[in-house]
A and B are shown apart, each in its own frame.
Chain A
């Protein structure tokens, strides 16, 4: 008698556990004064899923992904990251930030530290790793982004593409489960875009959950499981890449695609 209820309980709990999405947003709003930057956002991202967020400038793409690691505070609605609710509790925010890595348009490397120090700072201070361990870890990821030979240089001595790859390595050193990219190639000279996109593709192939704000439609076609199109703070359309590019449902998405493809 004591065994049966436990069995049924386990049976019902387990499938739910498996379904915990990487990111779940429910009716999320974000205001800047009178301006509504995010307007009732509902979004679910499954583990391992690759999402490309696109839309015109000012449509709220950056705000959306910055709310996911609480760099921007949402005003209303619910955000769960790997089942942890971003409810303004310090420990939850910290847990979410540990699960997410972020790559910025302007790299935001620490200019006064070497590439290696950029990569070891968080593992050593936030994870209590020893210097030797942290350096091994950093070299592992710097090798992965193919710049191990630049480890002793300062960010200012590297090209934009190299800096962005360091930024990716630095984020990976915290072993995040979700990677957030905010226009990672927009500040780069055209010849450097490819090396950064290649690095991101490699990450995608390894099963990383990714949310990328980008206008690189080739990357979107090749890597994305889903395109999220935003306009005026709303998610206007969500579709698989082929469908989105061939048959955009909204007029706004059609004009947007016309503008960026031509």
Chain B
């Protein structure tokens, strides 16, 4: 077996067992993004609060989860916590680890997005007697979100690949199932070629989604430059599509 079998690689690519692993990878990513965004927004709010205790707690959280490897976090949750009598299912352990970790990154992204919206926007909203909720929902959030998309996209790309670490705690996602196939058939290059192709497809699809999001939310052009703005003429129809 001193050669690379393309046929075998293609067979692994269409292997049902591996495909199910891909679905688990996608599921882990989506759940971690959603959970991470919700938790991350909460942490970002605490971090921006004027209460020094709350802001300090949020900073401590971010410092801890960004300062330690996800791998250790997963192993501690999976193997370490049972020592204290705290036991979750494998998939719960993976989700808890991924969400806690991702939230730390997303909190910083959310915070910097909101900080980049100028104070003048909020002042204009107050001067117009907009309620705090309307100010947040209609004025600050859309502008902050637009600024968050590029770093958010990068973070999700990293997360997609980081889900492979869950294989270490025996979650049967794409990486783990590749390992299993490999150990069964010893076609190392062929199996990992199929897995690599899947990761590339997933990250490329996400790239395309991210580009579309950027285009969609960037259309109204927060940009000061009039050249940029007039390059994207806006019709009534597209304005309504956005609403």
Contacts and interface: CB of A to CB of B under 8 A. Distances in A.
A94 B239 CA distance: 31
B203 interface: no
Contact of B127 (A100, A109, A154): A100
A113 to B, nearest CB: 7
B34 interface: no
Contact of A94 (B129, B134, B224): B129
Interface string A181-214: 0000000000000000000000000000000000
A122 interface: yes
B142 to A, nearest CB: 5
B221 interface: yes
B92 to A, nearest CB: 39
Contact of A108 (B124, B131, B134, B239): B124
Contacts of B225: 156
B8 to A, nearest CB: 52
Interface on chain B toward A: helix, strand, loop, or mixed SS? helix
Given A125-B130, A126-B134, A170-B128, A114 B239 contact: yes
Interface string A68-84: 01110000000000000
Interface stretch (B17-25, B75-83, B107-115, B229-237): B229-237
A98 B129 contact: yes
Interface in B197-238: 217, 220-226, 228-230, 234-236
Contacts of A94: 129
Contact of B220 (A71, A102, A106, A113): A113
Interface residues of B, number: 32
Interface residues of A, number: 32
A121 B130 contact: yes
B71 interface: no
Most chain A beta carbons < 10 A, residue from B123, B223, B235, B236: B123
B120 A106 contact: yes
B49 to A, nearest CB: 18
Nearest to A69: B127
25 contacts: A70-B126, A71-B123, A97-B127, A98-B129, A102-B123, A102-B127, A104-B120, A108-B123, A108-B124, A110-B139, A111-B220, A112-B217, A113-B138, A121-B130, A121-B138, A122-B129, A126-B128, A152-B234, A156-B221, A156-B222, A156-B228, A157-B221, A157-B234, A170-B128, A174-B129
Given A69-B127, A121-B130, A126-B129, 17 more contacts: A97-B128, A98-B129, A102-B123, A110-B138, A114-B234, A122-B128, A125-B134, A125-B138, A126-B128, A126-B134, A152-B236, A154-B220, A154-B221, A156-B221, A156-B228, A157-B221, A171-B127
